Amino acid sequence: MSTRKKIIPSLIGLALLGLLILAVMPSPVPISVTQVKQGHFEAWVEDEGRTRLRDPYTVSSPIHGYLRRVELEPGDEVEAGETLFELEALPAPALDPRAREQAREAVAAARSRLEAAEAELETRQTRHRQAQTEFERIQALHERDLVSSEQLDRARAERDAARAAERGASHAVEVARFEREAARANLEIADGERARTDQPTLAVRAPISGTITRRNRCCEGPAQAGEEIMEIGDLSDLEIQVDLLSMDAVRVRPGMRVEIDRWGGDAVLAGEVRRVEPGGFMRVSALGVDEQRVPVMVRISSPREKWQSLGDGFRVEARFILWEGEDVIHIPTSALFRRADQWHVFVVESGRAQLRAVETGRRSGLRTQITEGLEAGETLITHPGDRIEDGRRVQVD
């Protein structure tokens, strides 16, 4: 057999052996990868908030009265001392049939008392004239020494008493006339009529210069004392209230930098923490979980021109910068996993997954700081699954 005929079967056998080895070897696992980055890193917490007026003024009705139509609308600018709305006297209540009949009888009775008082006045006037004539006659006789001084004094006293009685009867006539007018007014005006336009009104004025943010009443009608009519505030003094989870609020301090995003504008607004409330409250989340929340007040430090369209009660998202640094190595948090009480990652080297232990630092959203174990530019598996093992062949999907 020639040498060529001996080599061909050997080559065929080697090829079959190679194919067999390739068949039994595991195929590369498809993976997604990312690069270890080094640069600016921020640790932050983020939550939804809403704008609020720091010092709102609620304008209420100071008395019971009839509110005239409120012409001002939300968004209108007002100056301090400007009239916001007016109150007038309440309309007289309407009378039911029995009360109206009683009012008619009261008018008739008052008219009769007036006539009786007028008649009594005429009687007193007659007696006064008679007493005055008698006094003048006795006085003339006394001057001629025809009557005693005692008779003159008695005539003078009777004249003075008659004059006082006439004056009292005159006052009684005035009282009876007033009673008649009051009874007549109760009968004629007690039908729900409003006060005349020339009647005095109470004007309620703006306590500050600002913008009307809310109008609780617009239409005319009776208003109770203390009823809220509108709210006024200075929109340039807006702040943001963010109800953070208590475990996040304990890490927030006054003066911390805040980034305000997703408020409707293009730019990210700058702010700072003004106050962290000392008391929290319980709130049920959308998933039905009880959450302990703490109100945090944020002052907007960006120029007013950048957020003129913001108003009271608008939704925003606030990011509280807890810590930030430069030249920080950080990776996606999804690349980390626990093994033997130690954080690990899979590094891709020469097409194989290499297990490596790392030390983590601060976390910020979806990224985590790495203090030991990785260098910038290395390639990591972002979502290592159960098929990934140390030394396993991998292929980027």
Burial class of 1 by CB neighbour count within 10 A (0 to 12, 13 to 18, 19+): exposed
- Comparing 20 with 353, the larger pLDDT belongs to 353
- What integer pLDDT is reported at residue 85 of this predicted model? 93
Q: Which residue has the higher pLDDT, 94 or 182?
A: 182
Share of the chain above pLDDT 90, in %: 40
Tokens 């009685």 belong to residue: 165
pLDDT at position 183, please?
81
Task: Name the band, by pLDDT with cuts 50, 70 and 90, for residue 96.
Answer: confident
Angle 304-305-306 from CA coordinates, rounded to 5°: 90
Task: Assign 287 a pLDDT band (cuts: 50, 70, 90).
Answer: confident
Distance CA 113, CA 387 (A): 112
Q: Answer yes or no: same fold for 40-53+235-396 and 57-91+196-233.
A: no
End-to-end CA distance of the chain: 51
Could you give the 3-state DSSP secondary structure of residue 340? coil
Residue 1 has pLDDT above 60, yes or no: no
Share of the chain above pLDDT 70, in %: 90
The answer to whether 18 and 385 have CB atoms below 8 angstroms apart is no
| Alpha carbons 210 and 248: distance in angstroms, whole number | 35
Confidence of residue 230 (pLDDT cuts 50, 70, 90): very high
- The tokens describing 22, both together, are 């390739």
Question: Could you tell me the pLDDT band of residue 307, with boundaries at 50, 70 and 90?
Answer: very high
Q: What is the CATH number of domain 40-53+235-396?
A: 2.40.30.170
Query: What are the boundaries of each domain within the chain?
Result: 40-53+235-396, 57-91+196-233, 97-188
- Those residues whose C-beta lies under 8 Å from the C-beta of residue 46, and which sit 6 or more positions away, are 317, 318, 319, 320, 365
Which are the contacts of 193, defined by CB distance < 8 A and separation ≥ 6? 91, 92
Condensed to tens digits (0 to 9), the pLDDT of residues 311-362 reads: 999 999 999 999 989 989 999 999 999 988 899 999 988 888 899 999 999 8
The letter for the amino acid at 175 is V
Beta strands of 54-105 (E only): which ranges? Answer: 57-60, 65-67, 77-78, 83-88
What is d(CA 36, CA 246) in angstroms, rounded to the nearest whole number? Answer: 32
| Largest interatomic CA distance in the chain | 200
Looking at residue 174, its amino acid is E
pLDDT at 166: 87
If you count DSSP H runs as helices and E runs as strands, how many of each does the chain have, helices first? Answer: 4, 24
List pLDDT tens digits, range 176-216.
888 888 888 777 665 556 656 667 889 999 999 999 999 99
pLDDT of residue 25: 56
pLDDT value at 11 more than 70: no
CA distances from residue 277 to 15, 54, 246, 253, 255 in whole angstroms, order as listed:
77, 14, 11, 11, 14
Q: Report residue 269's pLDDT band, with 50, 70 and 90 as the boundaries.
A: very high
Q: Does residue 379 have a pLDDT over 80? A: yes
pLDDT of residue 205: 94
Q: What is the DSSP string of 309-329?
A: T--TT-EEEEEEEEEEEEEEE
Please, which pLDDT band fits residue 392 given cuts at 50, 70 and 90? confident
Whether 256 and 322 have beta carbons less than 8 Å apart is answered as yes
Q: What is the pLDDT of residues 215-228, one digit of tens each?
A: 999 888 889 999 99
Token pair belonging to 164:
């006082």
pLDDT band of 30, cuts 50, 70, 90: confident
Q: Are 230 and 84 in contact (CB under 8 A)?
A: yes
CATH architecture of the domain formed by 57-91+196-233: Beta Barrel (2.40)
